[in-house]
Amino acid sequence: MRISNPFRAGLVGLIAIVSASVSSPTYADTGTIRFSVLKAGWFLGGSGGTGTLFFHGRQYPVSIGGLSAGLVFGASETHFVGTVSNIFRPSDVAGVYGAVGAGAALVVGAGAIVLKNEKGAVLSLNGRQVGLIANADLSGMAISLR
């Protein structure tokens, strides 16, 4: 059975249109992040810091700022290292992250935390805290690219 040229051309065109309209899935990627945060408070607390996002072989400077309310006494510095997952571009890391937590550090402490922002970026962090602080609070952290 022979297929006519116009029919064959139409069939090839239809296959091309259907193939173009079916989108291939886009997969999110993972990067690493490292930053330091200074936190201090007396019932109300504030925090700020800087760091670096490493994504696709490039470095992106980040700024961190935040507030906390609850039981916060003292001051500390925490050095965080971890991964950022579910991102498509570096700007996906920027956003507001919230957490409810409790902790204490007398000279040196350590901990881990997982946070998520409104864009779906997930921070999985390990930290080493230095200072004298006790907290049981609701806190938020904003990360922005500089």
- Residue 114 near residue 33 (C-beta atoms within 8 A): no
Per residue in 92-109, pLDDT tens? 999 998 765 555 555 567
Q: How many angstroms separate the CA atoms of 117 and 113, rounded?
A: 13
Q: What integer is the mean pLDDT of 9-34?
A: 66
The pLDDT assigned to 62 comes to 97
The pLDDT assigned to 146 comes to 86
Domain membership of residue 73 (yes or no) is yes
Supply 65's token pair. 């700022």
- Report field, pTM of the whole predicted structure over 0.75: no
Domain membership of residue 89 (yes or no) is yes
Domain membership of residue 7 (yes or no) is no
Residue 64 has pLDDT above 70, yes or no: yes
Domain membership of residue 1 (yes or no) is no
Pick the more confident residue, 33 or 4.
Answer: 33
Residue 21 has pLDDT above 60, yes or no: no
Nearest C-alpha neighbor of 117 from the set 144, 79, 81: 144
The pLDDT assigned to 32 comes to 97
Mean model confidence pLDDT for the chain = 80
- Residue 40 near residue 74 (C-beta atoms within 8 A): yes
Length of the chain: 146
Domain containing residue 71: CATH number = 2.40.128
Residue 121 has pLDDT above 50, yes or no: yes
Domain membership of residue 18 (yes or no) is no
Q: How many angstroms separate the CA atoms of 75 and 23, rounded?
A: 51
Expressed as residue numbers, the domain containing 36 is 26-145
The string of DSSP codes covering 22-74 is: SPPPP--EEEEEEEEEEEEEEEEEEEEEEEEEEETTEEEEEEEEEEEEEEEEE
Q: How many angstroms separate the CA atoms of 34 and 125, rounded?
A: 9
Domain membership of residue 113 (yes or no) is yes
Domain membership of residue 10 (yes or no) is no
Pick the more confident residue, 72 or 1.
Answer: 72
The pLDDT assigned to 25 comes to 47
Residue 26 has pLDDT above 90, yes or no: no
Instruction: Give the count of domains, the chain.
Output: 1
Domain membership of residue 4 (yes or no) is no
